[in-house]
Chains A and B, each alone.
Chain A
Amino acid sequence: MDQTKLNELTSSLRKGEKKAYQEIYNDFFGVMYHLSLQYLHDENLSEEIVQDTFLKLWEIRETLNEQFNIRNYIYTLTKNNCLNYLRNQKIALVHQRNIKYLETQYNYMALEKLGNFIEFEELSSKIDQAIEMLPDDLRSTFILSRIEEFHYKEIADKQSVSVKTIEARISKALRILRHELKEYIPVFLL
């Protein structure tokens, strides 16, 4: 969706047009849902958080002006909502210091480092190009592994290799991507 189209949608949404709202929802809901799912590992919760974001957007529709970047708003709000959730979860678990606590802690840190909307968009567009450049076997395995419905076992069966090979390919693919995209990954302060 290009900028002109987004501007049109913004002004239609300000007038409270359901169709524009629906288009924005269909355009960005899935991406935000999967983003949340990667850090929260909970489908219902992820859906709730993203729906909440869209609800907020609807509530503030009358205040939107032309400079308003809807996607930026949705991204930022969703990310913050996820961070809030993880922070609360972390506090609740702090005395136990179990695996769940550590997992929450590192997911929180990783999400915090995900960067702002502009970095997110830039890296997203670079990723496709980098995936295209991967060697054939790595690329096909990697793309399949991005589709949630596929388990590694299934990919392994289809490609007639072992699950271990699949995992090794994905790990290798990630390493190559990391190398290729280094300058686009936000700089992390450790």
Chain B
Amino acid sequence: MSEEIFIRILNNSASETEKYSFYQELEVNSDLREEFYHFKTLHTLSVCQNNRKINRPNSSFDKFWKQLNPTKGVAVKEMWYRYAAIFVIALALGFMVQYLISDYKGNPVYTHQIEYTSEKGAVSAIHLEDGSSIWLSSGSKIVIIKKSTGEMSAVLNGEAYFDMVPDPKRNFVVDLGFFKVKDIGTKFNIRAYHEEHGISASLSDGQIDFFKSGEVPMLSLKPGEYMQFNKQTKQMVVSNQDPTIATAWKDGKFVFIHKTLGEICRELESWYNVQIIISDKSLENTRYTSVIKRTTTVKLVLKMLSLTDKINYKITDRKEAKDIVYIF
């Protein structure tokens, strides 16, 4: 019995003749039978195991659900409004408005809270009344809270570029959980995705201060400086870096500074709305530095990466779900 036939049987690619000779032998050879049962089990379980790592698209469930409940298929429409803003790339921005009333020394303070979301694959621009602008990167969310007392704060999950008009009366603070960033009329970039291990900030113009609590700043950043914060060690490191690199995303470019292939793929996934699977784990930690136009296709980005190193890729189109990209 040749090994290859055995493998083809498991893989369901054996020819009829091969099947015939294989199963004929199974009938008489009990050692082979035992081997077959073991291999079949291992083969099946390893295929299943591999499949656990692939996310199932919701569309598959939706279709199934519709068959199950043909009349109940109407979902409650969420209160999302969309508007387009003027910008380089395709834009989609959802926002939500909420009015909250809170007590402040007995006097009611009106809080105006707006939530902006930039969808995957889009960069959005938010223009504030005072002429300030905030650019929101793909898959980012920012909540801007304005109080009637003039204070303004923002909570960010994602990456944003702030171009704030100087205004001594306004007190603008970005809350990043671990610390707060106070701006005094500046242009700065903050990258703070919840799922990432670090937070980074870079300053193009003016000055920003970092606060933990209270009024004394822990650190101030000057133009051209780049701050990296490690969420685990809680350490801040300041270095010099061309601020245009950190903000190139808002001009429609991918920026990877000494990033691992794993990190890069997570960004590509979110931007191109594909699922990327790196089958060879040793590739995951290879580091790359590059600036790539986002308007290219995921294919071109992969092609570029494959030019520089020994990576191969394969794209599988799927009709009702995200395409899968395999890197090996």
Contact = CB atoms under 8 A, between A and B. Distances in A.
Nearest to A123: B45
B230 interface: no
Interface residues of B, number: 56
A140 B326 CA distance: 13
A144 B12 CA distance: 16
A133 to B, nearest CB: 13
A177 interface: yes
A6 interface: no
A44 to B, nearest CB: 14
A38 B44 contact: yes
A148 to B, nearest CB: 8
A55 interface: yes
B44 A35 contact: yes
Interface string B35-72: 11111111111111111101110101100110010000
Nearest to A105: B23
Contact of A124 (B6, B16, B48, B280): B48
Contacts, number: 147
A30 B52 contact: yes
A51 B61 CA distance: 10
A17 interface: no
B328 A152 contact: no
Q: Is the interface of A mostly helix, strand, loop or mixed?
A: helix
B26 A30 contact: no
B26 A38 contact: no
Interface string A31-66: 101110011010000000001001100100000000
A140 B280 CA distance: 6
A99 B56 contact: no
A103 B326 contact: no
Interface in B75-120: none
Interface residues of A, number: 63
A127 B46 contact: yes
Contact of A140 (B8, B11, B13, B328): B328
Contacts of B24: 102
Given A149-B326, A171-B3, A35 B39 contact: no
Contact of B54 (A30, A127, A158): A30
B34 interface: yes
Nearest to B33: A190
A18 B282 CA distance: 39
Given A26-B61, A114-B41, A170-B7, A146 B34 contact: no
Given A34-B48, A167-B3, A171-B6, A99 B16 contact: yes
Interface centre among B44, B45, B65 (most CB of A within 10 A): B45
25 contacts: A18-B65, A21-B65, A25-B56, A26-B58, A29-B56, A35-B44, A38-B43, A39-B44, A99-B16, A99-B20, A106-B26, A106-B33, A110-B40, A127-B45, A136-B282, A140-B279, A142-B46, A144-B326, A146-B50, A147-B279, A150-B326, A152-B13, A174-B43, A177-B46, A185-B41
